[in-house]
Amino acid sequence: MNFRPTMPRLPRGRPRLRPRNRMTVKLLALLAFLGPGIVAANAGNDAGGIATYSSVGAKYGFDLLWMMVLITVSLVVVQEMAARMGAVTGKGLAELIREQYGPRWSLISTFAVLFANLGICISEFVGIGAALSLAHVPVQISVPIAAAAIWLLVVRGSYKVAERVFVAMTIPFFAYPIAAILAHPHWGAVGKAIVVPRIHLTSTYAILFIATVGTTITPFMQLYLQSAVVERGLGPEDIPTERAEVTVASLFANFVAGFIIIATGATLFLHGKTVHSAADAAKALAPFAGRYAEALFAVGLLGASLLAAAILPVTAAYVLAETFGFEKGIARRPREAPVFVTTMTVLVLIGAVVAMIPGVPVIKLLVLVQVVNGALLPITLFFVWRLARSEELMGEHRNGRVFDAVAALTVFGTSALSVVLVGLTLSGRA
């Protein structure tokens, strides 16, 4: 008798997945997991952040790597509180401040955010032009194209499409670990610097220390994250998943920052080179780590600047709409949310136009923005902490005792450093 091998029957309605389909399902599952947390955390690694981390590596080598561990803990705590509040209340931070503390505090934080975000937005378009200028693309071409693409994404696309593009913009950040490997650092020295603090009693060290904290935890990150959680429609049942995403995102963002320090510490520090911008760091890497390291650094700068240039106008629009009770949401048409769309459009337009002006005093502008951000951070973090620990507002999802103690230490510690930085900047010592 001839027996035919039979294939096992599959349950009806559940077709067997081919390998390519399985890969697609895994990719979609990853995209579903990644979202507001990864976008917010990596938006902090913008052009100004990259310049700060590069300066740290060029000036002190690996000596400041130990602080990245502490900053990562702080970042996780702050981002988790913002995401949890969005999921529980269904409201953005600016809206909660207005409801809980009155319009005066809401207006103060709103206009400070608008001013600071406009200044940083200009610096991001400067970063886009600087990154592509390394590939000999004129600023007058690269910046308008980038501005148009960003505007179309946040105004004409859907929220899901915009968020997936934002997540995709984090892929270029992988360039920094590769650039660091090409720099051939002494990994033993790197490991020791991570676990053994090395402190220099100089004003330069103190300023870079504070600047690193300030550029890693910035107000717009919490404001965007909470509003994005709300727009994504996440609720209390999604808190465990969003907490995991926020933790992974914070670890990845500071992992990238650490490798920027390693790359510049292994090359520029050893040869006594200094940098004043992220583009300077990319150019300076080439003689020591090769042309590919320079290209990778430029790719990372481009991705970082594009992501932040998209997030900053959105954040400002969220804050303004929440403060005054206007309609809001990415991909809303002008007739549906005129204030929201107009705010995004104006910030993108001004940022792009100013970035193309020859001889614009970008450094002075960034110093002024740094002061505003430094003054705003204590206010923002204080409200995040107070609201997240409120039993009336958060119920069973309020901060636990241990978490609340860590959060309080984080809020007051980072706020004190920001105040010191504002004082040093205003006195002309920063």
Q: Where are the domains of the chain?
A: 60-426
Q: Which two tokens stand for residue 141?
A: 């071409």
Residue 298, pLDDT above cutoff 60? yes
In 198-238, alpha helices (H):
203-216, 219-231
Model confidence pLDDT, tens digit, residues 362-415? 656 665 666 667 677 788 889 999 999 999 999 999 999 989 998 999 888 888
CA dihedral 413, 108, 52, 361 (to 10 degrees): -150
Mean pLDDT on 148-152? 93
Res 308 pLDDT > 60:
yes
Indicate the helix (H) or strand (E) that contains 343.
Answer: helix 338-355
**With a threshold of 0.85, does the pTM exceed it?**
no
Q: What per-residue string of b and e applies to 2-19 under the rule 16 or more CB within 10 Å gives b?
A: eeeeeeeeeeeeeeeeee
Q: Label residue 423 by pLDDT band (50, 70, 90).
A: confident
Average pLDDT over residues 198-218: 84
Give the model confidence (pLDDT) of 4-23 as tens digits.
444 444 444 444 444 445 54
| 187 vs 422: which has the higher pLDDT | 187
Please check the confidence at residue 167 and state whether its pLDDT lies above 70.
yes
Quote the DSSP letter at residue 46. Answer: S
Superfamily of domain covering 60-426: Amino acid/polyamine transporter I (1.20.1740.10)
